[in-house]
Structure 1
Amino acid sequence: MPIVQSIKTKAFYIFKCVLIPIGIWYAFVFHIELAELPPIIHNNFKQDCHDKGIRFEEYTVTTDDGYILSLYHIPGSGPPVLLVHGLSNSANCFILNQCARPPAFFLSDSGYDVWLGNMRGSHLSRGHTHLNSSNDDYWDWTMVELIRYDLISFIKFIKARTEYEKVALLGHSQGGSVILWALAQHPDMYSQYISIGILIGTPGAYINTQSLYIKLLLSDTFHFFSKIFSVNVISDWTDDLFLAKFIIRWPKVAKWICKDMLDMDFNKGTIEDLSVYIHRMRGGTSFKNIEFWTHIVNAKERNPLMYDYGKEGNLKRYNSIIPPRIDFSRVETKIAFFGGELDFAVIQSDSRILKESLNSEIVVFYNDTYHEDHGGFVFGCTMSYYNDLLEVLGKHSN
């Protein structure tokens, strides 16, 4: 009897400590997997354009260092405008808005010739002339390469296909940083091609972000585990829909997680909208690029040194043993700032420091009081800056 009792006790223990948790987990997953998703979540960029009766063209551009990038085009008769996406996004972020006209379509409606580039790292630009994206060497880049290779490759391609002398650039978040830093580091190369740089929710170099998500990406803990597990790509896109379904099933949790980048209660979008944004806006960026931004944030300088790759790496990237210092006073091209008073990622005081770092005569527009948060500039229901955007482009895009 004692032996039988012992077996029963162990069996009950296994049932209680192992089988019940497994059963609960499977029930949890099954509940999420049954969630119904909006059909648009399965679309791609081309299908979105087709569904709305919008012309669409796709090109590939090869950079001088071998990366093969996709470039989307919504043809128009007006001046060309190149839209540059944020840190780990893709061109999709400019067409996904479900409760207002998305920026790319809005500009197309207004007559502009709209171009959208997918920077290296985005899942829509994973080609290379001799490297595979599964190799470590493929991910050996930071924003330095976006500035030096990707942006200029897009601009030259567009210039060859338009009668206009210059291209207007509009960047959201890191996309705006790519534009501004390119104009600061290579003014002679870029100023001849760019009519105006429009910076939306754009960080400078002196950064005091209040976003918990960004603080996590910059944290020592995140970097430690990323290195332990040899992570090369951050916030990559996947065709798995579990996260989108989780958002549908657990809306309060999802809203809380996303709140400091995109507050759905404030922006008035639906939980179905959020599932579309979270699934389709992700593009991917290199872990080394996250290290680059960590260096910039920790430096706490208005004009910081670029990322230090060591003597050999610096010679390769900068033609100098010492990394160059970013000097925003070197920018010669007209700049327009659009910022939100509810933006936790890029707070108003940081935007004002960035503005003060530029020569005042090139800042043709500045407003950091839009009632928008960081994600609201692309996904918000009000898009309160649109009228000012058109006015700025009308004056300075040609």
Structure 2
Amino acid sequence: MTWLLNPPEQDLPLILADNGFDVWIANTRGTRYSRRHISLDPSDPAFWNWSWDELVTYDLPAVFDYVFKETGQKINYVGHSLGTLIALASFSEGKLVNQVKSAALLSPIAYLSHMNTALGVLAAKTFVGEFTTLFGLAEFNPRGVHVNAFLHSLCAYPGIDCYDLLTALTGKNCCLNSSTIDLFLKNEPQSTSTKNLVHLSQTVRDGYLSKFNYVTPSYNYMHYGELFPPIYNLSNIPHDIPLFISYGGKDALSDVHDVGNLLDSLKFHDVDKLSVQFIKDYAHADYIMGINARDIVYNVVLSFFNRPFNI
């Protein structure tokens, strides 16, 4: 849904479709269109026992397998925000690499230690702390009573301005249409697992990418055979995967310093297979809802997908 909030001529999936691409749009588990399961119901806490590790290990490979079997063609992948994190982590573990043709990563998050929105930093500290023990919530539903009360308590902190919630979370977006923002806030944000937000908060705190930390060494050992969670080493991403990375100067989630750390981990990437775009005035949501994203970003993505190594 996130990709389809603007008029058709401004939406990346429809622009790609109009240019002859076969477009598949995936949902993250727990959101409105991904709440079914062969044995579990969303009211069951076990349904929510996952973090972005499971998106890396199971969900994204399942999407790739399905599309690859249906089309018999390698895939040009587009990810935004969390969609970039799970792709990078998957590539680093050797997943998807035989099925991917190229990847366009918009507003990438891999490292998060420089995230600088007051609300985001406070939330990250809270999640790493006592949120799960206090509330015992498996599903983090932004529209639910308990989560709503939690968010209101965060917004009451000095220096936190939640009047403009989108800006409070993503930074000052330059190029959004007010009607699109209204549509966004009617439909999003949607549910995720509390465990997923705890894992993201660990990433903010730790400054590196690792699998979910169960904190207690014996729990980690039970899950991983190690006392500490294994690291995702992004320098293991195959150097010949064509990557397009676009990031914004006003993005408070995908901060320029953190993107710099990502690019540093890709410093040995084949120079002709890595394209980087920096947009000074863009923040996080501009990449999916910006009224000028077609001219500034999407046409570049289109050109990238049509480069000789992608045909």
TM-score class, shorter: 0.7 to 0.9
Number of residue equivalences: 286
Match of 2:199 in 1: 292
1:349 aligns with 2:257: yes
1:390 aligns with 2:302: yes
Deviates more, 1:368-377 or 1:113-122: 368-377
TM-score by length of 2: 0.83
Match of 1:88 in 2: none
Match of 2:102 in 1: 196
Query: Unaligned 5+ residue runs, structure 2?
Result: 145-160
Once residues 99 and 226 of structure 1 are traced to their aligned partners in structure 2, the CA distance between those partners, rounded to angstroms, is 40
Q: Secondary structure at the match of 1:176?
A: helix
CA displacement at 1:235 relative to structure 2: 4.3
Q: Secondary structure at the match of 1:161?
A: helix
Do the aligned residues in 2 keep the contact of 1:123 with 1:237 (CA within 8 Å)?
A: no
CA displacement at 1:237 relative to structure 2: 6.2
Cα deviations by residue, 1:313-339 (Å, 9 ceiling, x for unpaired):
546654655422111111013321111
Cα 1:222/1:205, change in 2 over 3 Å: closer
Amino acid at match of 1:336: F
From 166, 188, 191, the equivalent of 1:258 is 166
CA displacement at 1:93 relative to structure 2: 0.2
Match of 1:379 in 2: 289
Q: Secondary structure at the match of 1:391?
A: helix
Supply the RMSD in Å over aligned alpha carbons: 2.6
Do the aligned residues in 2 keep the contact of 1:318 with 1:324 (CA within 8 Å)?
A: yes
Match of 1:171 in 2: 79
Do the aligned residues in 2 keep the contact of 1:139 with 1:286 (CA within 8 Å)?
A: yes
Match of 1:276 in 2: 183
Once residues 114 and 319 of structure 1 are traced to their aligned partners in structure 2, the CA distance between those partners, rounded to angstroms, is 40
Q: Secondary structure at the match of 2:20?
A: coil
CA displacement at 1:217 relative to structure 2: 2.7
Compare relative contact order (CA 8 Å, sep 6+) and give the higher one, 1 or 2. 2
Match of 1:241 in 2: none
Cα 1:319/1:392, change in 2 over 3 Å: farther
Do the aligned residues in 2 keep the contact of 1:267 with 1:380 (CA within 8 Å)?
A: yes
Do the aligned residues in 1 keep the contact of 2:112 with 2:253 (CA within 8 Å)?
A: no
Amino acid at match of 2:281: H
Cα 1:394/1:337, change in 2 over 3 Å: same
Cα 1:315/1:337, change in 2 over 3 Å: same
Identity %: 20
Match of 1:122 in 2: 31
Do the aligned residues in 2 keep the contact of 1:124 with 1:283 (CA within 8 Å)?
A: no
Which protein has the larger Cα radius of gyration, Structure 1 or Structure 2? 1
Do the aligned residues in 2 keep the contact of 1:167 with 1:397 (CA within 8 Å)?
A: no
1:134 aligns with 2:43: yes
Deviates more, 1:145-154 or 1:354-363: 354-363
Match of 2:56 in 1: 147
Once residues 219 and 254 of structure 1 are traced to their aligned partners in structure 2, the CA distance between those partners, rounded to angstroms, is 17
Do the aligned residues in 2 keep the contact of 1:99 with 1:381 (CA within 8 Å)?
A: no
1:335 aligns with 2:249: no
Once residues 373 and 200 of structure 1 are traced to their aligned partners in structure 2, the CA distance between those partners, rounded to angstroms, is 11
Cα 1:118/1:334, change in 2 over 3 Å: same
Q: Secondary structure at the match of 2:164?
A: helix
Query: Unaligned 5+ residue runs, structure 1?
Result: 1-91, 239-252
Cα 1:106/1:254, change in 2 over 3 Å: farther
Once residues 97 and 293 of structure 1 are traced to their aligned partners in structure 2, the CA distance between those partners, rounded to angstroms, is 28
TM-score by length of 1: 0.66
Q: Secondary structure at the match of 2:25?
A: strand
Q: Secondary structure at the match of 2:253?
A: coil
Amino acid at match of 1:373: A
Q: Secondary structure at the match of 2:243?
A: strand
Do the aligned residues in 2 keep the contact of 1:217 with 1:290 (CA within 8 Å)?
A: no
Once residues 189 and 200 of structure 2 are traced to their aligned partners in structure 1, the CA distance between those partners, rounded to angstroms, is 18
Cα deviations by residue, 1:211-262 (Å, 9 ceiling, x for unpaired):
2342243132795345322222224468xxxxxxxxxxxxxx9863322426
Once residues 180 and 157 of structure 1 are traced to their aligned partners in structure 2, the CA distance between those partners, rounded to angstroms, is 19
Once residues 49 and 224 of structure 2 are traced to their aligned partners in structure 1, the CA distance between those partners, rounded to angstroms, is 15
Once residues 223 and 128 of structure 2 are traced to their aligned partners in structure 1, the CA distance between those partners, rounded to angstroms, is 26
Once residues 306 and 270 of structure 2 are traced to their aligned partners in structure 1, the CA distance between those partners, rounded to angstroms, is 19
CA displacement at 1:116 relative to structure 2: 0.8
Once residues 234 and 341 of structure 1 are traced to their aligned partners in structure 2, the CA distance between those partners, rounded to angstroms, is 30
Do the aligned residues in 1 keep the contact of 2:112 with 2:255 (CA within 8 Å)?
A: no
Cα deviations by residue, 1:37-80 (Å, 9 ceiling, x for unpaired):
xxxxxxxxxxxxxxxxxxxxxxxxxxxxxxxxxxxxxxxxxxxx
Match of 2:210 in 1: 305
Match of 2:231 in 1: 325
Once residues 197 and 242 of structure 2 are traced to their aligned partners in structure 1, the CA distance between those partners, rounded to angstroms, is 28
From 345, 349, 369, the equivalent of 2:279 is 369
Q: Which has the higher strand share?
A: 1
